[in-house]
Structures are given as structure tokens and as C-alpha cells.
Amino acid sequence: MNFDQSQALFRRAAAVIPGGIYGHTTPAATVPGAVPYFAAEGFGCRYRDVDGNVFIDFMGGYGPLVLGYHHPEVEAAAHAARQLGAAFNHPTPLLVELAEKLTQRIDFADWAVFAKNGADLTNWSIMVAREVTGRPKILKIRGAYHGTAAWCTPGHGGLIPSDRVDIADFPFNDITALEALFAQHRGQVAGLILTPFHHPAFADSVLPTPEFVAACNRLCREHGALQILDDVRCGFRLTADGSHSLYGYKPDLAIYCKALANGHPISACVGRASHKAAASRVFLTGSYWSDPAPMAAALATLDIIAREQIPQRLALLGQRFVDGFLALGKKHGVDLIASGPPAMPYLRVKDDPSFMRTQALCTAIVAQGVFIHPHHNWFISAAMTEADIDEALRRIGIAFDSLPTTPHFAS
Amino acid sequence: MNFDQSQALFRRAAAVIPGGIYGHTTPAATVPGAVPYFAAEGFGCRYRDVDGNVFIDFMGGYGPLVLGYHHPEVEAAAHAARQLGAAFNHPTPLLVELAEKLTQRIDFADWAVFAKNGADLTNWSIMVAREVTGRPKILKIRGAYHGTAAWCTPGHGGLIPSDRVDIADFPFNDITALEALFAQHRGQVAGLILTPFHHPAFADSVLPTPEFVAACNRLCREHGALQILDDVRCGFRLTADGSHSLYGYKPDLAIYCKALANGHPISACVGRASHKAAASRVFLTGSYWSDPAPMAAALATLDIIAREQIPQRLALLGQRFVDGFLALGKKHGVDLIASGPPAMPYLRVKDDPSFMRTQALCTAIVAQGVFIHPHHNWFISAAMTEADIDEALRRIGIAFDSLPTTPHFAS
């Protein structure tokens, strides 16, 4: 497997783009030189890069492609809507249908709004919490990703002190720290924003303890703060009705994006009737937001997710993958740590603080045509069959065989 | 003309969406009850609403549809790219082609990045200015629109004092005020952000004086601050190579969006080589940004804009429209004020501080099947012919005839 075309394109890109490729698709986030840099075509749960290499895709565009590339029903719905037009002066009836669909589907949701990026609505949600409460402070999980706005970006560039004077963070699952922040900022906390489970990059995923979920619910209620669930990455992958229902959160606002429309650009925020008037006072708009095609894609995707019990399917396929991957590690004498729900698993080599051995393993796996990421959780696709999982595992077995020595293959 | 279906849909919307319809497409921004609320289908420079009313469209989705609905060459390019896939793990080669196209087209541009919303990149641009300079302060034009982020939203809801401690504003074209701000914040100004001309809602457009442009160029250079041109609304409508070239600005960063891809969701920021390393340090990413279809649409749109001299065409059509509209006002004894470049004109009734007479005139015009906005600049479409302009003027003449009395028709 070679990446000559990828690397030639990257040299062209580097001449006209800061960093060559920016954001979550930058090769620097994976293992430079060991992965493709440019995609050519996707089909089902596989894609081909610009050098003609084909991969079984365990990243799915970092989440959006829950049903795989080119799902026929989703694409037909989007295509039909696109024939109507785009970027109208007004919304189309699909706006109403999609808001009705989400409010029927999600138990606590009385209303919905739509944007393009998940971050459009995480940013808006903290303004809604401030408008509802008349308070400034936002509590967030340390290391959680909510977008690249100055109040929350994981980057370091371009920040100034005033960006975060009203943001306070604490470790996931740490009830004592959360209680301390509510006490420290008594009467000043507008909202708590968190992801359903903790899925940082460069670290294991962490599921919430029932006690932590209960504490979030109780403390927000006691202190009159809004609970904001950033379900951008997980939403509609773990359940068909929002991830709060799996873990027991009682959110006031929830934000969805990645799996909402199988890759078509749309995000959603839903909320409770008691906050609807305040939400209407926080101005929200964007150039392309009346575009009907992503709304049609979302309606189709939501139907398929419920009708075909996609979350259950992802969980079963994911469990098969994780079990098989762990067994291969055991067979080859490599201790592995698996974390996160099986539908969005993450595996790494144990006792590997530098990620060097995890990177070496991932590099060997990518070289066998299975695209996984060494530092970011993976995404099972509903376009996968058990045979695809087994084929991926077969190739991962070859990758283990190819490692120079085990268990210290990258030492 | 009735809006029964629009109003029925709006009642459904109001049950499940804060405000029913939010953002710039809200009926509350125009004249409630006098305009359609929901679109059904667009074709060329016309669209049909859900009640079957057809309008000659002078808003173009508030800017994106520079070539009209369903431009065949743009749609074919987008469709071909969409067949490759969406939301990949990597960009496609179209990312490189588009960055190369913009850096070749725009004289000062050495690099480009792409996002979805214009605001994704106005927000990013001020972070880049802060990263380049190590300073916090941003100067902006009072009343200018750069998006709905807390630092700049025209809304009032959800704001807290810390949002704008490092933002200072001043009136457009006011050199003395700009000099005073640079003096007051000496050594603290990271950047000046402004639109090429001033196009606020609920006010006349204002073209920049040559002296103001020269002062912006000089003061940014003298004080080591970045000049950021928010060309989201104007870019590629007034010239084929960015609006700075028309007025003489020397920007360091410029942001494009609306006309960039004829309605397909993409925005761009371009900049100079001297700021490229700093730009690469300001993290920028979004779920759907590797999607190739909007990049293909942008490449096609940029080609057509240059090849068919679209800005010249829009200027000629716009001048014909403005001249004809003013002549109709004169004929009917209604003093009108026209402002803005003819490609993006705005007309209102003179001596009408409450906008009541302007609203009444617009309502009468919309009732004749010509969609214009009483409080926001309009957009000429390249899909219009001289015959479409003349047909619109004929209908506007009927609208003037229909007004109860002139010149005090709405008194």
C-alpha cells in the first residue's frame, strides 16, 4: 500500500492551506505517512483513497456516516428535496416535519431548531441558558469537545483571557468537584454542558456512573441551572431517541448532529416548553439553513434508525468487533484496553502513555485496509455486515502478525 | 394572492419551534401576513411558495443564489461530486483545487480555508488576528452584521458582559472615531473587521469614502493590526476577485460565503503568507467540512462568475432596475431613496423613519409577485434577463397604482 498521490496532493495543499489539511481530518492527528490524506470515493462501509487503496471504514467521517456511504433511501430523499431548490428566502415544509419528528421522538423535547454545525448549537445553547437564567457561568467537563469556539476549543491558538472568565470545568464523573463548582458559583451558574459519555481524544472513553448522572440531574434542578447534553457525536447511534434515555440524564437542551442525516450538513437543538420563549430571544441564523435537502435526509435517516433498530445493530456488530479484537490481542500477547460503548468503541495498547505502541498497531492495521484511528473513538457503520466485521478482524490478525515483536513491538 | 398554506404551516411550526421560524427567514423581519412564510420550489430567478404564488425573486436566499435556482452547470458539478460521497475521513482533491483557485483569483490571497457558515470564519478570523498579534482588541463597525456569535450578534438575548470586553465599535466611514479607538487601545488592537460597504438592516446602505478606505489601510498598517474584510454578503457579486479590489481595501484576511457556491453550503477565508503559520495554530474544524459537493459547486460558480462577467451583468441589470424603480416613484409622487451598489440595491420611501410607508409599498409589490424586503438590501440575480427586470418594474408600477393615496399612502 502506498500513499504517493495523497502525499503529492498534500504538498500542493501545504502551499495554499495553513497546515495543508486542517481540523479533525489533518494527518497530524493520526500517524503522518501511514494513512491516506485524500479520499476519492465511498461505498457502503468502505472507501477508496486517491491512490486506489480501499479501506473498511471504522471512522465514518468521524461519525456522520451511521448508515454508510450512499444509503439509497437517504440519498433519494435528499435528491428529491434538492430538486425543489436550496437556500430559499423561507424554509420549506420539511422544517416543520423535522421539528415535529424530533419532538415526537425525544421524550423531553417540546421544540427544535436546526443549523449546520454541531458547534452552531452548542454555542447557541449556552446563550439560551444565560437568557433563561440571567446568569453568566457555564460548567463543562474538562477535556470534553464542544467545538472550536473560543469558550471551548481544544486548540491553544487565538485565545485571550476574557474568552473563559465565565467558564469553569471539572473532571467527568467527579460529583465532588461538580458540587464544589455549584457551591463556589452559587446563584451564578446558567448551565452545565456535558457529553453523554466522556469521549476525549488521546484517552480512553469513560461511561458515566449512575451516581454521576443522578448528581447532574439533581444539582441542575436544585440550582436552577440548565442541563445541556452535547449529543453531537453519540446521538442516534446508541439509541433511536437520544442518548440521555440510555444513561438517565434529564437534559433541558440537547444538541444532535453527526448521525442525524447520514452525512448531510445539519444539526439540531431540542428543548423544553418552559425555555421556548427565552430560546426565541437568542438570535440564530445562517446563510444556508433553509436548504431542504439536509432536512429530507434527516427525516429519512431518523426513520431508518428507528425502523431498522440501527442502535441495536451497531451494538451487536460493535461487540463482535471488540470481542474479536481483544481476542487477537490476547493471542498475540498484546494487552489491550477497550473503552466506550461497543457501537463507538476505542481500543488501545495498555501501558502505552506515549501512544507509540498504539500508533504502531494502528499503522499496521491501516496497512491491511482497515481504517481506524489511534487517538479517537471509532464508529461502527450499519452498512457493515457480520462478514465485514470478520473480514476486518482477519486483517487485524495479519496486522498483529506483521508487528516486529510482541508485546514490545514498538519499543 | 393568499398565504393560507403558509399560515397553516406557520401555526404548526409555532407549536414546535421557538418563534415558529427563526433567524433571517422569520416573517417578523418583513411584514407579517403580507409575505409567504414557506417556499415550495425555485426555478431561475423565480420561486413558488406553498400556496402556489410565484415571485420574481430579488432576495435570492438573502444572497447565495447569485446565478439563480438550479444553475445547470453548478448542479451538475455538485451532483458529480456527491456521487463520490460525503463527510469523508479526509478531504478530497477538490479542497486543493478550490484553495488554488481562490489564491490565483484574489490578489493578496496566499492561502485559503473552508467552513460551512460565513460566521464560522468571521469567528475564526478574529482568533487568527489575536494569534498573529498577541493582542485582544477587535474594532468593528457599529451595526455591521458578522454572524450570531456573542461577540457580534445583533440580537440581545443571551449576552453577558464578558462577551464584548475586547470589542469596540465605531460608525462606518468615521475616520476620526477609528483613529480615536486606535489611540485609546494603542498596542492592544489585534484587528479591524468591516464589510466592504455598510449594509445594515433597517437603514440605507453606505458606500465607503476613498478617504475611509485609505485610513483603514493606513491605520491597520501603522498599528500592526490585521484588516479583516467580511465579504460574506458582497463577495463575487461586485467583482470576480473579491470586493476589496473595487473599493481599494488592502485586507489581511477576507471571508466569503453567500455567492461562493450558488447556494451550496460553504464559506472561505483567505489570507497572506505572513499570517499562514499563525492561522495554522488556530484550530478550525466541523463535522461536514470534507464534503466535496459544495467545493465542486464553488469551483463551478467561480468559473461562471469570471467567464460570464457576472458582476458586470448584475451591475447593469441592477442599474436598470433602480433607474426604473426611481422613475416609477417620481411618476407616482413618491420620493424614494436608493442606496448601495446597483447589484445589491436597497430602496425605501424618503422621510419614513418608522418604515411604515416603505412596508406598505413593499407589501403592495409582493402582492404583485415581486419579492423584495422592506428592511434589508436586495440581490439582483444573474438568472434575470432585461425582460425579467422590465416585468418586475411593470408589476411595481401596478403596485404603486394600488396604493390608497400618494405620497402619504400609508399615513
A288 → chain B, closest CA residue: B265
Nearest CA in chain B to A100: B16
- pLDDT tier, A159 (very low <50, low <70, confident <90, very high otherwise): very high
pTM of the predicted protein model: 0.97
**CB A61 to CB B287 under 8 A?**
yes
Confidence of residue A411 (pLDDT cuts 50, 70, 90): very low
Query: B120-168: per-residue pLDDT in tens?
Result: 999 999 999 999 999 999 999 999 999 999 999 999 999 999 999 999 9
Cβ contacts of B158 on chain A, cutoff 8 Å = 124, 126-128, 130-131, 281-282
Give the one of B88, B158, B283 whose C-beta lies nearest to A148's C-beta. Answer: B283
Choose the closest CB to A162 out of B22, B85, B136: B136
**Alpha-carbon gap: B37 to the closest alpha carbon of chain A (Å):** 6
Cross-chain Cβ contact A61/B87 below 8 Å: yes
Residue A12 C-alpha, separation from nearest chain B C-alpha, in angstroms? 7
> In chain A, which residues have their Cβ closer than 8 Å to the Cβ of B9?
93, 96
Q: How far apart are the first and last CA of chain A?
A: 24
| Nearest-Cα residue of chain B relative to residue A16 | B111
A110 close to A276: Cβ distance less than 8 angstroms: yes
pLDDT tens sequence across A42-99: 999 999 999 999 999 999 999 999 999 999 999 999 999 999 999 999 999 999 999 9
Most distant CA atoms of chain B, gap in Å: 63
Average pLDDT of chain A is 96
SS3 category, B235: coil
Q: Which pLDDT tens digit goes with each residue over A310-320?
A: 999 999 999 99
Q: How many residues are present in chain B? A: 411
Chain B residues whose beta carbon lies within 8 Å of the beta carbon of residue A125: none
Q: Which grid cell sits at B154?
A: 445583533
The predicted model gives A346-363 an average pLDDT of 95
Taking an 8 Å cut-off on Cβ atoms, the answer to whether A86 and B264 are in contact is yes
Read off the C-alpha cell for B69. 435556482
Here the cell at position B240 is 470576480
User: What Rg value do the Cα atoms of chain B yield, rounded?
Assistant: 22
- Which residue of B79, B96, B111 to mutate against A (max A Cβ within 10 Å)? B96
Q: Which residues of A touch B49 (CB under 8 A)?
A: 90
- CB spacing of A18 vs B159 below 8 angstroms: no
Q: How many CB pairs under 8 A join A and B?
A: 345
Tell if the CB–CB gap between A42 and B84 is shorter than 8 Å. yes
**How far is B285 from chain A, CA to nearest CA, in Å?**
4
| Minimum CA–CA partner of A269 in chain B | B17
Burial string for B54-80 (b: 16+ CB within 10 Å, else e) reads: ebbbbbbbbbbbbbbbbbeebbebbee
Nearest-Å Rg of the Cα atoms of chain A is 22
All three cell numbers of B174? 468615521
Residue A187, Ramachandran bin (φ over 0: left; ψ between -120 and 50: alpha; else beta):
left
Min Cα–Cα distance to chain B from A15, Å: 7
Residues of A with CB below 8 A from B284's CB?
22-23, 148
Residue A409's pLDDT is 65
Task: With a cut of 50, say whether residue A285 has pLDDT above it.
Answer: yes
pLDDT given at position A44: 97
All domains in chain A, ordered by first residue: 4-69+310-409 (3.90.1150.10), 72-308 (3.40.640.10)
- What is chain B's pLDDT, residue by residue, as a tens digit (411 residues)? 999 999 999 999 999 999 999 998 998 888 888 999 999 999 999 999 999 999 999 999 999 999 999 999 999 999 999 999 999 999 999 999 999 999 999 999 999 999 999 999 999 999 999 999 999 999 999 999 999 999 999 999 999 999 999 999 999 999 999 999 999 999 999 999 999 999 999 999 999 999 999 999 999 999 999 999 999 999 999 999 999 999 999 999 999 999 999 999 999 999 999 999 999 999 999 999 999 999 999 999 999 999 999 999 999 999 999 999 999 999 999 999 999 999 999 999 999 999 999 999 999 999 999 999 999 999 999 999 999 999 999 999 999 999 986 555 644
Contact flag B17-A96 (C-beta cutoff 8 Å): yes
Residue A138's SS3 state is strand
Burial label for B316, CB within 10 Å (0-12, 13-18, 19+), is middle
Q: In what order do the strands lie in the sheet with A370-371?
A: A39-43, A46-49, A54-57, A370-371
Mode of pairing for the β-strands spanning B189-194 and B137-141: parallel
* Interchain proximity B155–A131, CB inside 8 Å: no
Nearest-by-Cβ selection for B148 from A65, A70, A285: A285
Distance from CA of B239 to the nearest CA of A (A): 20
Please give the residue of chain B at the shortest CA–CA distance from A289.
Answer: B265
pLDDT at B406: 57
pLDDT at B411: 46
